């Protein structure tokens, strides 16, 4: 089956999910995977879709036009074969919390270290919290550690960033258990 990635962003209000999924349901789309959340004042939806008959963008016709008329931004990406299959990510899962007074480059500096060490980020969320006078940036990363890397290593690699950016960093393994 052909798969697609559909992203929809717009000012948050009740009813967006219902409007989007009604259209998808009527089209006969399967929603294979999805993540939707409020980011700032926007509601952001990312969906992996499959349709037994629709092979390309044109196959959707103007089905999404009502969404655009409702001030939502709609983008459709046609996936290459296999692009819908989640890779088997090996390695221990690790949560990394980074927080501190807001300043530019917190995500970049942390992500650069992780990328250079072949640590795969599987989930990342950030929020600006605290008061207007003293904004605090909070980032939580879930990452898969390559074989031979433990939480102490990650901690050690992030120490220079902690010192340079004056942020607090906590690294902890989330043990995966089969019960």
Partner 1 sequence: MAVREIRVYPDPVLKQVAAEVAAIDETVIAVIDDLVDTMRAAGHSVGVAAPQIGVLLRVVVVDVSHSKLGRDHNHGLLEMVNPRILEKTGGKTMREGCMSIPDYTGNVERAERIVVEFLERSGRLRFVETSGFEAVAIQHEIDHLDGLLFLDRVSSLKTDLFRRKAPKG
Q: Which residues bind to partner 1, rule: CB under 8 A?
A: 37, 93, 123, 125, 127, 129, 138, 140, 142, 174-179
In the bound state with partner 1, the residue whose beta carbon lies nearer, of 59 and 100, is 100
Note the residue count of the chain.
179
In the bound state with partner 1, the residue whose beta carbon lies nearer, of 7 and 170, is 170
Distances (CA, A) of 37 to 46, 120, 122, 123, 169: 9, 22, 17, 13, 25
Minimum distance from CB of 130 to partner 1 (Å)? 9
Point out which residues pair with 171 in neighbouring strands. 96
Minimum distance from CB of 61 to partner 1 (Å)? 34
SS3 at position 66: helix
Minimum distance from CB of 178 to partner 1 (Å)? 5
How far apart are the C-alpha atoms of 132 and 101, rounded to whole Å?
Answer: 11
Minimum distance from CB of 10 to partner 1 (Å)? 19
Residue 90 main-chain phi, psi, to 5 deg: -85, 165
In the bound state with partner 1, the residue whose beta carbon lies nearer, of 80 and 86, is 86
- Torsion angle, alpha carbons of 119, 36, 107, 171, to 10: -50
In the bound state with partner 1, the residue whose beta carbon lies nearer, of 147 and 179, is 179
């Amino acid at each position: 089956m052909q798969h697609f990635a559909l992203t929809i962003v717009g000012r948050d209000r009740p009813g967006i999910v219902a409007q989007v999924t009604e259209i998808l349901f009527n089209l006969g789309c399967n929603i294979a995977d999805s993540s939707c959340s409020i980011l700032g004042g926007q509601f952001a939806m990312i969906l992996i879709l499959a349709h037994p008959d629709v092979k390309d963008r044109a196959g959707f016709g103007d089905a999404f036009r009502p969404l655009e008329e409702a001030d939502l931004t709609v983008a459709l990406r046609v996936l290459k074969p296999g692009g819908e299959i989640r890779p088997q990510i090996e390695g221990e899962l690790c949560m990394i919390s980074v927080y501190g007074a807001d300043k530019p480059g917190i995500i970049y500096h942390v992500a650069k270290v992780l990328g250079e060490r072949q640590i795969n980020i599987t989930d990342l969320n950030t929020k600006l919290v605290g008061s207007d006078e003293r904004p605090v940036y909070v980032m939580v990363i879930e990452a898969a550690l390559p074989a031979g890397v433990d939480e102490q290593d990650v901690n050690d690699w992030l120490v220079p960033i902690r010192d340079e950016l004056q942020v607090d960093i906590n690294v902890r393994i989330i043990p995966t258990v089969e019960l």
